[in-house]
Structure 1
Amino acid sequence: MPITFKKLLSFFILVLVFTSAKAQDKNLSQSRKAISINQNWYFSKDPNAKGSASLKYALVNIPHTWNAFDVLDDEPGYYRGVGYYKKKLSLQHTWKGKKIYLDFGAANQETEVYLNGRKIGNHIGGYTGFTVALDQLRFDGKDELIVKVDNSYNESIPPLTGDFTFFGGLYRNVSLVIVDQVHFVDQLYGTNGVYIHAENVTNDKATVEIEGKLVNNTNSKQLQINSILIDVEGNKVGETKWLSASSEGKNISFKLPNISVTAPKLWSPESPYLYQVITRLIDYKTAKVLDEVKTNIGFRYFSFDADKGFFLNGKSVKLIGASRHQDFAKMGNAVPSALQVKDVELLKEMGGNFLRVAHYPQDQAVLDACDRLGILTSVEIPIVNEITENEAFYNNSKAMQLEMIKQNYNHASVIIWAYMNEVLLKMRYGKEPERKKVYLKSIENLAQQLEDLTRKTDPTRYTMMSNHGDVTGYTNAGLVKIPMIVGWNLYQGWYGGKSEDFGPNLDKIHAAMPDKPLIITEYGADVDPRIHAENPIRFDKSLAYGMEYHQIYIKDILKRQFIAGAAAWNLSDFSSETRSETMPSINNKGLLTLDRQPKNTYFLYKAYFNKQPYVKIGDGSWKLRSATNTRQDLSVITNLDSVILIVNGVKQDKKPVIDHVANWKIEFKSGKNELEALGLKDGKMIKDKSLIDFVLQPQSLFNSTHSFNILLGSQRQFIDDKNQIWLPSQVFTKGSWGTVGGEPFKIKNSSRQQYGADKDIKGTLNDPIYQTQIVGLDAFEMVVPKGKYEVTLHFAELMGNGIQSVLPYNLDSLIAEGKEVPPQRIFDVYLNDRLIIKGLNIAAKYGIAKSVESKFECVVTDEKGIRLSFKSLAGKPVLNALQVKRIK
C-alpha cells in the first residue's frame, strides 16, 4: 500500500507528540517532584499531655491511625486525643534553592506541624488535604518534622457526632513536593493551583477554561503559561497561552484564553473518555520550563429536572449506586490508595454509575478512579446531625466547603457539592420551644451561607443537602428550599414502618415539593452475613430480610421517573464505635462486608444493573448450612429470564426469574453438596458453581464430633467464629427437643425488635449467641441415645442499663428497663436431676451484658435423654443458648 502524504504527516505528528511527551517528562522531573515519605515515622499517643519530648515512640508507616483496634473492643469509647508523629528528613543537596512543600492527604482533625522545633503550619478539619511550606531547612540529614494530630471532640469543628468513627491520625499519604521557586500553587486550599473546567459543552462543541494561581519567589519579570489539550492517543486538540505583564509580586492569579473544541468525545459511565491538559509555567526570557501540571478533563453536560430526573449529555440517566465510608477491616481509616480504588471498581462491577462520597471528602484516588471508570459523584463536608452556634463553627464549615471544592474541582465525575446530612437528627432544645426556634434559624442561616458560597465558587455544579425522614421538620425549618437538590435518607421497613411504605412515601414527598429534584441519598437494612432466617423479620439482621428489603426499594426507585437517583447505604460495612448490635461497633448496612466480601444484596444489584449476562447461586457467605431437615430453600440471582439448577448431579425444575431471583426447595445431603446454575443468553451458556457443606441436626451429633447448638428465644441461625452453626429454638415435642415453658425475651415498649436485644455482649465475638434468651423457662429436654455428653450453657443478663450508646441509631438501647436496677433473678439449674448450678444471680455475679459459659458432663443411661431443669429462687430463670456434644 503506498504511503500517502496524509499518513506520513500523521506519523510525524505522532513522533512529535511522543518526543514532546518525553521532553515533558524530563522537564517535569526537573521542575516538579512528588516524593512519598510514608515510611519510617515514629509515633506516640499523648493522653497525659506530656508533650512530644517526653514520650516513648514506636516505628510506624503512613497511612496510620491510632484507632484501628480500640474501636472494636468491648470498652465503651476510643482514644480521642493527641498523637505525635516525628521523622528525620533525608533531603538531596540538589534540592537546595528549590521550594519544598509538605503535602498531607488528610489528618484527623486538628494538626500542627513543626520543623526543627519551630511551628511552621497548622490545619483544622479531618477530611481535606493541606500543604505546609518547608523553609529554613538545614539539609544535614537532621532536619526533624514533628506533627501533632488531635482528634478530640471540638464543638467548633464538624462533625460533632455521627454514626461513624472519628479515627485519629495521619491516615492519608504524606509527600514532599519539590518545585522551582516559581511554581503553580494555591497553598490556601492545598492544591497545585491549576483549575480546569469544561464549559458550554454540547455534542458538537466545548470550551476549556483554565485559571489558577502561581508563586514567584525570584526576580523573573515575565512568565508564560502554556496549556495543551491532548486526547487519549496523545493528539494535540487545542492550545492556549498567557503572558504575565509583570511578575514582581509573589502571588499571582491567572486566567488563560479559552480553548475551543469541536466535536468533543463526551465523558459518560458507558464511555468515560478523558482528555488531558498539560499546563507549563515558562520563564519567558530563557524559555525554561519552571513547572508543569497534568490535569485530566472530561467533557459532559448534565441537568436535574424535578419531574423527569437526571440527564447526562442530553439523555435520561437514573443515578444508581451507593454511599461510601473510607475505613477497612483492621485498618480503620488508614487505608492504602489501592484498596480505595478497589471500592470504586467493585461499585462499577455492580453496575453502579453513582457514588455518594459520604459524609466527608475522601482520598483523591477515589475520585481519580471515578473519573477513569465513569462513576458520577456527589461530595460533601461533614456537618452531620447538629451544629454549634458560634462563629468558629461557621468559619470552619465554610473553610471545609472551599477546600473540598478547590481540591476536587478538576474531577469530571463530580456533579454535586453537598454540605449537610440529617442536620435535624439530634435536635437541640427540644424542651425549650423558643430557644429551639433560634437554633433552627441558625442552621438555616449556615445552610444559606454555604449554599451561596458554593454557587459563587463553582456555579457549574448542583448543590444538595441530605435529610432524614422528618419531611415536615425540614420544610418548616426552611431547609428544603435552599439547595438545588434535596436528598432524602429513607428507612421505611427498617427504623420504622414497612418496606412497602417506601414508594407511597416518595410520592407524598414529591407532591409536597414538586419543583425540587430528588435523590434518595440513603436507604438500607443491616445484614450480618453470619445470620440467616427462614422467615425473615425486621431487625433480625438476616441476609433474607436484606434481600427482600432491597428488592422492594429497587423496584420503587426504578418505576418513578422523578427520582433522579439513589445511593444505597452503604457500599460496605463501616465502623461505628457507639453501635451495639449483632456485630458491635459495626454498621452492617453495607452491600459488602468491612473487608469487602460481597453479600447477596451486592449480587442483587449486579443482577439489576450490570448489563452483562449474570448468574449467581445465592448462598453468599452461607456455604455452611445446618437444619433439622434436608429440604431447604435456595435462590439464584440473575438478570436472565429463567435458570436451571443442578444439585449433586440431579437437574431440578427450570424456574422463571421474578425480580431477578429464582427460588427452589431442594434436598441437601449430609456433607458436601455440589450446585450448578445454568442460564442461556443469546445462545451462550451462563453458569455459576457453588459447594455447600450441610450438617443435618441433631442427628449429626449422634455419630460425629459435631455439637448441637441452640439459640434460645431466637428465630434465626448464626455461624460463629469457629464455623459452628447455631439453630433457633423450638418448643419441646415428644421424641424431639426443645424448651418447656417460658417465652422469648423482648425489649419492652420497643417498636424495633420482635425478640432479643442489641446489647454489646462483653467477653465474646459471637454476640448473637447471647442477645436472645428464653425467660421463665421450666426446662429444656432433648431425646438422645445412651452415652456420654458434654452440655454447655450460655447466659447473659439482658435487663438493665448495660448499653454504651445513646445515639438515636440505637433507639431500643434507651428502653430496656431504662436506668433502673433490674429485678432480682436467682435460680438453680439441674441436669438430669443433678444440681449443677446453685443460686445463680447473673447480674450480681457477672454484671449486665457479660457472656457466661458453663460446661458439664452427663451420662445418659435410659431413654429419657437430657433434661435441664430450672428452679426459681427469685425472679424468672433465663437461658440464652446451649450446646450438646457427644463424648466418645
Structure 2
Amino acid sequence: MKRLAKLFAIKKKQMLKAKSILFILFFTISGLNSFAQDAGRKAISLNDQWEFQKENGSVEQVNIPHTWNNKDVLDDTPGYYRGLGIYKRKLKLDESAKDKDIFLVFNGIAQESEVLVNGKSAGKHIGSYAKFIVPIKQFLNYTNDVIEVRANNRFNEDIPPLTADFTFFGGMYRNVTLLITNSVHFSQHENGSSGVFITTPQVSAETADVNINSYIENTSTLARKLQINTTIFNSKGEEVASQTATLSLNKGEKKSVSQNVKSIKKPELWSPENPYLYRVVTKIIDSKTKVVVDQVSSPLGFRWFKFDADKGFFLNGKSVKLIGASRHQDYENLGNATPDALQIKDVEWLKAMGGNFLRVAHYPQDPLILEACDRLGILASVEIPVVNTITETEAFTNNCLNMQTEMIKQNFNHPSIIIWAYMNEILLRLKFSNDKPRQQIYFDHVRELAQKLDSLTRRLDPSRYTLLVNHGAWDIYNKVGLTKIPMIVGWNLYSGWYSGVPADFAKFLDRHHKELPNTPFMVTEYGADADPRIRSFAPIRFDKSIEYALQFHQVYLNAMLNRPFVAGGMAWNLADFNSETREETMPHINNKGLLTIGRQPKDTYFLYQAYLSGKPYLKITSAQWKDRTGIADSGALASTQPVQVATNLKSAELFLNGKSLGTKEAVDHIIDWNVPFINGLNQLRVVSGDQNDQADINFQLQPFKFTDSKIAFTNMNVLLGSKRFYIDEKEHQLWMPDQPYRVGSWGWIGGEPYKGTNNRIMYGSDKNILGTDNDPIYQTQQVGIKQFKFDVPDGEYELALHFAELVGGESKEALAYNLDNNHKKEAEEKRVFSVSINGSSFMNQVNLAADFGYTTAVQKKTRITVQNGKGIVIDFNSIEGKAVLNAIQLRKVY
C-alpha cells in the first residue's frame, strides 16, 4: 500500500507539473487568444497585445491581423506608406519549457521580415504571402522575453510582385502562433509545411493507395528509437487503415520516412457534389515508453482528374466544366488584415453561387481558404505573385523559385488543389520597346524563368498540372514561347472591356483550339466593371453599369459552356478589391467583382446562380436597385422602366401590385419586363411553378410636365452629359440622366456631352474627382451649354450647381490593362464663364481650374423665389473657351 501511495504521489506530482506548464502558458503568455493541442505539441495564438509603430512613428496597441495601409490606400493622395513597420510583444514562459523546442509561426507578413528575440535576430523571410516558421529556443531567457518583428513592404526589385492591379498592403496581416514541441518532432524546416506529405498514386472507384512521406528531426542530445504510426480515418472517425514504421534518429539528425497504404477498398470519392474528406493522423511514438511525442493531422480526398485539349476537364472519370472565380484577400476598410470568419465566408459565397473552382490569385492566401475548399468541394489553383514583369537578376529568380517551393509544400495535402501556377500576364508591361535586341534578351530571361518554375513544380509534385496565365496578346506569348511550357495555358480575356467587343471572345477561344490543338486551356480571367451605384437603360462599354456587366457575362458564359474544349472559366473577381492606383467611378477599387468589397451580391452574382444552380432558381435581380426615380410617361401617372429576373426556368410571370404583367420566356437565363412604376411603393412578385420571388421598389416619380398637378414635384437630381442613373447611398439621393429642354418641363439647351481623350470611353471621364466620394456626379458634363431651364410653378426653391474641370491637370500613366487605350495628351483648355439665374449674376468669370483646381468637385447652392410664372432660367455666358455643367439639383422648399 505504501508503494502504491508513493507511486500515486509521484504520478500526481508529474501531473501537477504538467498542469503547471499549461497553466503558466495559458495565463502568463501575454494576451493569449486561444489554445490548441495535439499530442506532444501545443499551438497558442499570439494575435493580441502587440505594440506597433511605423519607422520613427508613434506607438499604438494593435491586434493581429493588422495592416498599416487600410486607410491611406483610400485617400485622394497618390501612393501609400511602403516602408518599415515594427511590432513588439512580451512573451513569458516558465523555465519548465526549457526542454521543449519553441517556434514562432507566421502565416503572412508583407514583405521583408526579420524576427528578433531579446534583440537578437532569430530569422528572416522574403515574400508577403507564405507561412514561415522561426525557431526561437536558443534566444529565450524564459523570464521576460521580448519578440520584435520588423516588417517592410518597400519596393524591392528582387521581390515579386513588382507591379500589379492590386494593393501591396504592409503589415503582419495573418495569424501568429507560438508552437511548442518535444525535441523529437515533425520537421519545422520544410518550407513552412507540416513536414508530412500525402499523395494518392492510384485511385479508382474500387480501390485507392496512399503514400505518406514524413520528415522527422531529433534536436535532443540523445539518440532515439521511434515508431511512425499513420492511421486513416473516414468522416465518421472510423479507422480505415493503419501502418507503423520504425526509425532510429541520432542526436541532431533529420530523416524522412515513407509509408505506403495500399488497396483501400471502395473509397468514397471527393468531388464538388460530395466533398468527402478522410483524415490522416501521423504520430511519432517513442519505441520504449510508447508515448506519443508528436502528431500531425492532414486532410485526404480520393479523386483523380485530367485535362483534355479536346474535351476539357474530367474528375473521377466524369466531364466537369470548371466555372468559378478568382479571389483577392482584402475586405472593405480592413485591407488584407481580414478576420478568419470573413475569409471562410468568401468560399461559402462561391459555393452558394454554384461555382466549383477558385483561382487563388495572384498569390497564396490564408490556409483557411484551401481548408474551406477541401470541405466545401471547390477545386482550386494557387499561384505565386510573378505579375506583369520580372527583374533579370539571380536574386529575383531565386526568390521566385523559393516562393514556388513554399507554396507547393505548404499546400501539398489539400485535395482541392489540382493546379500550381507561377506567372500572370508577364508580358503586359513590355520593357525595352525602343531597343528590340535588348528586348529579345529580356524575353529570353522571362522564358528561362518560366521554364525553371515549371520544371521545379513538376519535380516537387508530379501529380498536379502546371499553369501559366497570359493576357490576350496571342502573338507575343506564342512568339516568346510561353504557350509551350506549361501543361495548361491560361488566358485573361477582356474582349468588350479593355479592348474590342464581346463577340471577339468566342473567336479567341476558337483560335486557341485551332492553333494549339494539343494544349488544354482555361479562361483564367474575364469581367467588366460593375459599380452597384450605377444603372443604365442604354448600357455601353465603360459606363460601369450593372446592366453592361450582365450582358458581358452572359456572352462569356454562353461561349465557354458551349465549347467542350474550354476546360473552364474564372470570373474576375469574386469580390471587388483594392487597387490604389485606379481612379474611375470608385477610386482605388477594382469593381469587377460579383460581390462588392463589403460582400454584398450584385446582379451578376445572381446571374451565375441562374446559370449554375442545380435547383430551380428564380430571382428579381433588379431588386438590388430598390430605390428608383424616373420621369412619368406622357399623360400617365407612371414611369415605365425595365425589370430583370434571373432564372434557370423556361418562363415566369411578373406581378406589379398584384396585377399580372404577363408571362415571358427566359433568354440566356434573363427575363425582361417593362414595368409601369407608380409613385411610392411598388410591390413586385415573380412566379414560375412553385418558385417565386418578390421585391419592394420605392419609386420617386418625376412629372412629365410641372403643370401636371397629379404628380407633386419635390426634388430632382440630374447628371449632365450622362446616360446613366446614379445612387448616392450615403445621402440617399437618386440621380438620373439629363434631357434636352422640353417646354413645360426641364432640360439643357446647347452643347454636347463631354468625351475624354481616349477612344474607349463613350462619354465622361474616368479621373478621380477630388473632394467627393460621389465621383460619378462629376465625371460627366455638358460642354458648351447655353442654358438650363426648369419650367416650375411659382414658389421657393433651392438650386445646386455642380462643376469639375475634367480637362488638364497632372498627366498620369494610363493603366496598362486598357489595351486599346489611345490616350492623347490633353491640351489644357482655358475656360472662363459666368452664370446668371433669372437674369441676376450668380457666378462671375469662373475659371474652374484656377479657382478650384483640376478634377475637383465644386458645388454652388442658392435659393430662388420663382414668381410671375417665369420658372428658372440658368444662363451660361462663355468668356473664354466653353462653359460646362456637370450636374444640377432642384428642391422645392414650399
Pick the TM interval, shorter chain.
over 0.9
Matched, 1:856 2:893: no
Task: Report what 1:728 is aligned to.
Answer: 737
Task: Report what 1:790 is aligned to.
Answer: 798
TM-score (norm 2): 0.93
Q: Secondary structure at the match of 2:444?
A: helix
Task: Report what 1:333 is aligned to.
Answer: 336
Aligned with 1:597 (options 593, 596, 600): 600
For 1:422 and 1:758, the matched residues in 2 are separated by 24
Matched, 1:883 2:886: no
Task: Report what 1:9 is aligned to.
Answer: none
Deviation at 1:862, TM superposition (A): 2.7
Task: Report what 1:6 is aligned to.
Answer: none
Q: Secondary structure at the match of 1:258?
A: strand
Q: Secondary structure at the match of 1:654?
A: strand
Question: Which one-letter code corresponds to 1:761 in the other structure?
Answer: I
Q: Kindly indicate whether the alpha-carbon contact (under 8 Å) linking 2:835 and 2:876 is maintained by their aligned counterparts in 1.
A: yes
For 1:117 and 1:490, the matched residues in 2 are separated by 50
Q: What are structure 1's unaligned runs of at least 5 residues?
A: 1-25
For 2:790 and 2:36, the matched residues in 1 are separated by 81
Task: Report what 1:199 is aligned to.
Answer: 201
Q: Secondary structure at the match of 2:421?
A: strand
Q: Kindly indicate whether the alpha-carbon contact (under 8 Å) linking 1:801 and 1:817 is maintained by their aligned counterparts in 2.
A: no
- Aligned runs of 1:291-302 on 2, under 5 Å? 291-302=294-305
Task: Report what 1:248 is aligned to.
Answer: 251
Question: Which one-letter code corresponds to 1:173 in the other structure?
Answer: N
Q: 1:812 to 1:737 in 2, by over 3 A?
A: farther
Aligned with 1:691 (options 682, 696, 703): 696
Matched, 1:874 2:856: no
- Aligned runs of 1:713-752 on 2, under 5 Å? 713-720=721-728, 721-748=730-757, 750-752=758-760
Task: Report what 2:306 is aligned to.
Answer: 303
Task: Report what 1:11 is aligned to.
Answer: none
Task: Report what 1:674 is aligned to.
Answer: 683
Deviation per CA, 1:167-203: give whole Å up to 9, x if none.
0001100011111111102424012211112221111
For 1:125 and 1:94, the matched residues in 2 are separated by 35
Question: Which one-letter code corresponds to 2:630 in the other structure?
Answer: A
Deviation at 1:90, TM superposition (A): 3.4
Deviation at 1:786, TM superposition (A): 0.6
- Aligned runs of 1:474-489 on 2, under 5 Å? 474-489=477-492
Question: Which one-letter code corresponds to 2:212 in the other structure?
Answer: I
Matched, 1:616 2:619: yes
For 1:677 and 1:348, the matched residues in 2 are separated by 25
Q: 1:607 to 1:676 in 2, by over 3 A?
A: same
Matched, 1:41 2:50: yes
Task: Report what 1:386 is aligned to.
Answer: 389
Q: What are structure 2's unaligned runs of at least 5 residues?
A: 1-34, 633-638
Deviation per CA, 1:711-744: give whole Å up to 9, x if none.
1101101011312111111111222211111111
Q: Kindly indicate whether the alpha-carbon contact (under 8 Å) linking 1:220 and 1:283 is maintained by their aligned counterparts in 2.
A: no
Question: Which one-letter code corresponds to 1:543 in the other structure?
Answer: I
Question: Which one-letter code corresponds to 1:828 in the other structure?
Answer: S
For 2:42 and 2:252, the matched residues in 1 are separated by 24
Aligned with 2:657 (options 648, 656, 659): 648
Deviation at 1:353, TM superposition (A): 0.3
For 2:402 and 2:618, the matched residues in 1 are separated by 48
Q: Secondary structure at the match of 2:203?
A: coil
For 1:317 and 1:415, the matched residues in 2 are separated by 13
Task: Report what 2:350 is aligned to.
Answer: 347
Q: 1:27 to 1:374 in 2, by over 3 A?
A: closer
Deviation at 1:344, TM superposition (A): 0.5
Deviation per CA, 1:341-383: give whole Å up to 9, x if none.
1010110010000000000000110000000010000000000
Q: Secondary structure at the match of 1:549?
A: helix
- Aligned runs of 1:792-811 on 2, under 5 Å? 792-802=800-810, 804-809=812-817
Deviation at 1:233, TM superposition (A): 1.3
Q: 1:249 to 1:42 in 2, by over 3 A?
A: closer
- Aligned runs of 1:425-574 on 2, under 5 Å? 425-574=428-577
Q: Kindly indicate whether the alpha-carbon contact (under 8 Å) linking 2:120 and 2:139 is maintained by their aligned counterparts in 1.
A: no
Task: Report what 1:166 is aligned to.
Answer: 168
Deviation at 1:255, TM superposition (A): 1.6
Q: Kindly indicate whether the alpha-carbon contact (under 8 Å) linking 2:623 and 2:696 is maintained by their aligned counterparts in 1.
A: no
- Aligned runs of 1:64-79 on 2, under 5 Å? 64-79=66-81
Matched, 1:831 2:840: no
Question: Which one-letter code corresponds to 1:268 in the other structure?
Answer: S
Moved beyond 6 Å, runs of 4+? 699-705, 811-814
For 2:490 and 2:404, the matched residues in 1 are separated by 18
Deviation at 1:706, TM superposition (A): 4.4
Task: Report what 1:709 is aligned to.
Answer: 717
Q: Secondary structure at the match of 1:145?
A: strand
Deviation at 1:816, TM superposition (A): 5.6
Aligned with 1:576 (options 555, 574, 579): 579
Deviation at 1:643, TM superposition (A): 1.1
Deviation at 1:474, TM superposition (A): 0.1
Q: Secondary structure at the match of 1:349?
A: helix
Q: Secondary structure at the match of 1:540?
A: coil
- Aligned runs of 1:354-369 on 2, under 5 Å? 354-369=357-372
Q: 1:790 to 1:811 in 2, by over 3 A?
A: farther
Q: Kindly indicate whether the alpha-carbon contact (under 8 Å) linking 1:27 and 1:289 is maintained by their aligned counterparts in 2.
A: no
- Aligned runs of 1:219-258 on 2, under 5 Å? 219-258=222-261
Q: Secondary structure at the match of 1:96?
A: helix
Q: 1:853 to 1:812 in 2, by over 3 A?
A: farther
Question: Which one-letter code corresponds to 1:764 in the other structure?
Answer: T
For 1:536 and 1:146, the matched residues in 2 are separated by 54
Q: Secondary structure at the match of 2:213?
A: strand
Q: Kindly indicate whether the alpha-carbon contact (under 8 Å) linking 1:88 and 1:141 is maintained by their aligned counterparts in 2.
A: no
In percent, how many aligned pairs have the same letter?
Answer: 50
Question: Which one-letter code corresponds to 1:709 in the other structure?
Answer: N
Task: Report what 2:411 is aligned to.
Answer: 408
Question: Which one-letter code corresponds to 2:773 in the other structure?
Answer: L
Q: Kindly indicate whether the alpha-carbon contact (under 8 Å) linking 2:223 and 2:248 is maintained by their aligned counterparts in 1.
A: no
Question: Which one-letter code corresponds to 2:849 in the other structure?
Answer: A
Q: Kindly indicate whether the alpha-carbon contact (under 8 Å) linking 1:266 and 1:273 is maintained by their aligned counterparts in 2.
A: yes
Matched, 1:637 2:643: no
Q: Kindly indicate whether the alpha-carbon contact (under 8 Å) linking 1:792 and 1:856 is maintained by their aligned counterparts in 2.
A: yes
Q: Secondary structure at the match of 1:730?
A: coil
Task: Report what 1:586 is aligned to.
Answer: 589
Deviation at 1:253, TM superposition (A): 2.1
Q: Secondary structure at the match of 2:99?
A: coil
Aligned with 2:778 (options 756, 770, 773): 770
Deviation at 1:28, TM superposition (A): 5.2
Q: Kindly indicate whether the alpha-carbon contact (under 8 Å) linking 1:747 and 1:815 is maintained by their aligned counterparts in 2.
A: no
Q: Secondary structure at the match of 1:114?
A: strand
For 2:705 and 2:355, the matched residues in 1 are separated by 44
For 1:843 and 1:621, the matched residues in 2 are separated by 38
For 1:613 and 1:91, the matched residues in 2 are separated by 58
Task: Report what 1:118 is aligned to.
Answer: 120
Q: Secondary structure at the match of 1:594?
A: coil
Q: Kindly indicate whether the alpha-carbon contact (under 8 Å) linking 2:122 and 2:139 is maintained by their aligned counterparts in 1.
A: no
Task: Report what 2:129 is aligned to.
Answer: 127
Q: Secondary structure at the match of 1:212?
A: strand
For 2:440 and 2:140, the matched residues in 1 are separated by 57
Q: Kindly indicate whether the alpha-carbon contact (under 8 Å) linking 1:580 and 1:803 is maintained by their aligned counterparts in 2.
A: no
Matched, 1:80 2:82: yes
Question: Which one-letter code corresponds to 2:177 in the other structure?
Answer: S
Q: Kindly indicate whether the alpha-carbon contact (under 8 Å) linking 1:530 and 1:621 is maintained by their aligned counterparts in 2.
A: no
Q: Secondary structure at the match of 2:386?
A: coil
Q: Kindly indicate whether the alpha-carbon contact (under 8 Å) linking 2:499 and 2:818 is maintained by their aligned counterparts in 1.
A: no
For 1:384 and 1:412, the matched residues in 2 are separated by 26
Matched, 1:661 2:670: yes
Superposition CA RMSD, Å: 1.7
For 1:551 and 1:789, the matched residues in 2 are separated by 45
TM-score (norm 1): 0.94
